[in-house]
Structure formats: C-alpha cells, structure tokens
Amino acid sequence: MATGGADPTGSGQQASTPGLRYPSNKKTIYDRNLNRSKNAELSRAAFAYLFVEMISYAQRNVRDIAALEKRLNEQGYPLGLRLLDLLLSRSSNPLASIRPTRIHTLIQWVAQTLWRHLFGRPADALERSATDATQYMLYDNDPMVSTYISLPREMRGLNCAAFVAGIVEGVCDGAGFATEGVTAHSVGDQGSQEGDAAGAAPKKEMWPDKTVFLIKFKQEVLEREEILAKGAG
Amino acid sequence: MSYTFTILSPTDTPLFTHSFGTSRSGGDGIPRFTSSERALIPFILHSALDIVEDVQWGPSTSAGSAPMYLKHIDKYQNNFISCWITGGNVRFLLLTRPRDEALGLGPSSSGQKGSLAGGRAGLQSSSGMLYSPTNAATEEAVKNFFQDVYESWLKTIMNPFFNVGKGDVVKSPVFRARVAAAAKKYL
C-alpha cells in the first residue's frame, strides 16, 4: 500500500502501520507546514526550463495545435483544483475560511489572488462579454509563460498560455462553477489587423504576447446565479 | 456520544470514513452505535447532502462569499449532522449521536449528564442539560475539529500522486491518525 508522500527510497518501516513507508527524514507530508513556501519564489530560468519540457512532452504524437493546447490545458487543470483550496486557506484571515459563491467574487479572486500567487502581480483587465453573458475575458498583457517562447511560422495559432487557462478552468470547476472550457488566445493577431486599418501599428508592438483568457461558464451556472440573486429575500 | 466523520467528493463518493466516540468527560473514544444505527448512517449522511446543496451558496444578500463551516444542517431521528465544505466542494460531514440521557430520552440518573461536545465544566454543571447542536460550545468544538481535518486534507490534496477531483480514496494511515487526534482533542 503506497501512501501519500512516502519516499520510495525511505528506509523507515514502522511496526504499528505495516506497509507504510516513511521518507528517510521520517517526515510525511502531514508533518510539513503548508505555509512554508508562501513567500518562496521559483527562479524564472528553472520555470522556463521545466515548461519547455512540459511542452515538448505534450507535443509528442500530437495531431494538431488544438490537441496540443488541450494537453497543456489538462496539465494545468489539477493545479487549479489544488491552488483553489491552498490559496483560500492562506487568505488574510485563515480562521474565517471563506469560499467564493458568486461568479463575480470567483473571477475577482482569480484575477487578484491566483494571479498574484502565480505571477507576482494581478491580471491586467477583466471584462464580461457584451454579446454572451456566460463569457468572461481575463487579459494578461505579458503572460510569463510565453515570455521565452517564439512560435515557428507553421504554429502561429498556438498559445502556450493554454496551460494557465487549464489552471483557471480547474479553479472554476473546483469551486462549483462548471465551465464549457477556458481557452487562451493571442490578441496580437487581431490587433495587427485592426491596427493596420487604424494605422496604429506601434500599439501592437507594446504587448506582442498579450493574451486573453476566455472563460465560458455553463448555462446552468448563470441560471443558478439568477435564482440566488432573487432568493428568498 | 458517538460520531461518524465522512469526507464526500464533489460527485458524492465517500473518500474517507472514521467512527469514534467522545473523549470528553471520561469518554473512552469508542463509538456506541447499535447495529441498526450503523447500517443507517450512510443513508442519513447522503440524504443530508441535499440540505448542503441548499445552503452552500449562502443567502441572496451574500456578498459573494460564504464560510466553509455550515454548522448544524440536518437531523434525522437522534442523529445530528454538521458540515464543512471546502473551496473545492468536498464535503466533510460529521454525524453526532448523543447518548439517550443527553437527549432526555433514557432514565436519567442524577449522576449522569449528557456529555457535551467540547463541553466546559461550567456548562455541564447545570443538571439536566440537554444536548443541542446549536449550542455555542458544541459549534465551536466541531469547528475546531473540522479546521484541523481541513489542514490535513489540504496536505493530502497537495500530494502530486493524489488524483484530486477524480474520486481518489484517502488511504493514508497518517491521515486517519490526524483525524483521530483532532477528534480526541475537540470532541
């Protein structure tokens, strides 16, 4: 019976719980402090190196760009489920143990708390789609994940922030706000077309990696929101 | 007083179950459910989930967030159910079955008083004090218990080998020991 956090090389074997193998330092994950890494930061180089490996792993036997983005999304999804609870427990007042129950609070939480934790700054803009009430747009002018990525010509449609989109999707699904999916799109391409028309080319240069995360909630989430807003009161 | 603690996944799969008795006021920590009660427990807990879903989103006036601790939510016969819901919609349910005397059912002799969850000596001094799930001391004790378990739960889901949200059952004996320790400390 393999157990949580047990290091396979651990030598310690306790008689009271046969089969449980302790790590060599006798500390299971339950003995570690959850806030130990609260203010710890990972070096950008280490992240970039790992992320490149993740992308090339996802790229194996992949059919097209959509499938590649889907795999990146799936890599991020479980992270979102975990970060949701971890960051909620680290909120300013841990005893209050508050969780978001409305779309607006959740989205704000993603744009502020989650973004700060992941990238050290809040997201750049947050909008609700004017045409589709189920859609929210979260903008990041310079997503950290795309910083060291230059796309080959034949893969221009790819946006590696699909990984971050997966994290956001995990957070929303986990909190009980089911999504149709969260996708990452580069805004640069659109900007260049509009920019050419308006003659405002330098604007596009400013944020070449600008990415929009399209969060599309399921219809039932919106319906629930409406019922809750009316409520008994 | 006997307790059953269950963790239910967002898709209503039981991930962890632990039964124990009170360790307060001379309790030995052994659950004393009758066999028919024991058989009913899963049904009682699952039926309480409907109530959880009713109350988990908070009132319509809510500012957009709600506490994880939902307090006492349901009662079936002599079983009281308290709930804690995590950010990831995992439900912790605690079923409390007070002793008959504590409910004023059995022949209550003067020496026997209902053991109150987390009861302080002062609260128990008034003879004939009946168990109440909404008693402030009870709520506080259950909250402390849930908080300790929540911390252990967080550590469980931080394990990269634990499939969060896919109905992975918690098998770790260390987790069970942590729950038992929290139970012993607060209930």
Q: Where in chain A are the domains?
A: 43-230
Q: Two tokens at A70?
A: 């889907």
Instruction: Name the fold adopted by A43-230.
Output: Muramoyl-pentapeptide Carboxypeptidase; domain 2 (3.30.1380)
CA-CA distance, B31 to B179, in Å (whole number)? Answer: 15
Chain A from 168 to 207: CB within 8 A of any B CB? 173-176
Positions of chain A with pLDDT lower than 50, given as ranges = 1-15, 191-201, 233
Average pLDDT, integer, range B110-130: 46
Number of cross-chain residue pairs from A and B with Cβ atoms under 8 Å apart: 124
Quick one: which of A47, A110, A102, A104 has its CA closest to A84? A110
* Spatial separation of the C-alpha atoms in residues A150 and A70, rounded to whole Å: 19
List residues of B whose CB lies inside 8 A of any A CB.
Answer: 10, 56-69, 85-89, 147, 150-159, 161-165, 171-175, 178
Count of domains for chain B: 1
Helix (H) or strand (E) holding A128: strand A125-128
- Burial of residue B116 (CB within 10 Å: 0-12, 13-18, 19+) is buried
Q: Is the ipTM of this complex over 0.90?
A: no
Residue A117, chain B, CB below 8 Å: the answer is no
Residue in B56, B58, B154 closest to A86 by CB: B154
Task: Give the HSE-up count for residue A140: Cα atoms under 13 Å, Cβ half-sphere.
Answer: 33
- Cβ separation A98–B157 shorter than 8 A: no
pLDDT confidence tier of residue B47, bands split at 50, 70 and 90: very high
Full domain range(s) for residue B130: 2-57+65-104+113-186
The distance of B66 to chain A (nearest Cα, Å) reads 5
In which residue are the tokens 């987390």 written? B118
Q: Which of A12, A3, A116 is nearest to B155 (CA)?
A: A3
Query: Which residues, at least 6 apart from A87, have a Cβ–Cβ distance to it below 8 Å?
Result: A113, A114, A117
Residue of A nearest to B168 (CA): A4
Q: Per-residue pLDDT tens for B122-163?
A: 344 344 467 787 788 888 899 999 999 999 999 999 988 888
Q: Which residue of A has its CA nearest to B161?
A: A4
Q: What is the pLDDT of residue A212?
A: 93
Q: What is the pLDDT of residue A11?
A: 41
Quickly tell me which residue has 């180089």 as its tokens: A45
A4 and B CB contact within 8 Å: yes
- Cα distances from B83 to residues A40, A100, B39, B80, B131, in angstroms, run 33, 17, 20, 10, 18
- B69-104: per-residue pLDDT in tens? 888 998 888 899 999 999 899 999 999 998 877 777
Determine contact, residues B98/A95, Cβ cutoff 8 Å.
no
Question: Does the distance separating the beta carbons of A30 and B174 come in below 8 Å?
Answer: yes
Question: In terms of pLDDT, which residue wins out, B21 or B165?
Answer: B21
- Please indicate whether, in this complex, the C-beta atoms of A176 and B69 are within 8 angstroms of each other: no
CA dist., res. B112 & res. B9, Å (int): 39
Q: What are phi and psi of A49, to 5 degrees?
A: -65, -45
Which pLDDT tens digit goes with each residue over A93-115?
Answer: 655 678 888 899 999 999 999 99
Report CB contact under 8 Å: A85, B154.
Answer: yes
Give the span between the Cα atoms of A139 and A11, in whole angstroms.
49
Question: At B131, which CATH number?
Answer: 3.30.450.70
Interchain contact, A231 vs B59, CB within 8 Å? yes
Q: For position A90, what pLDDT does the model report?
A: 85
Measured from the Cβ of residue B45, the count of other Cβ atoms closer than 10 Å reads: 25
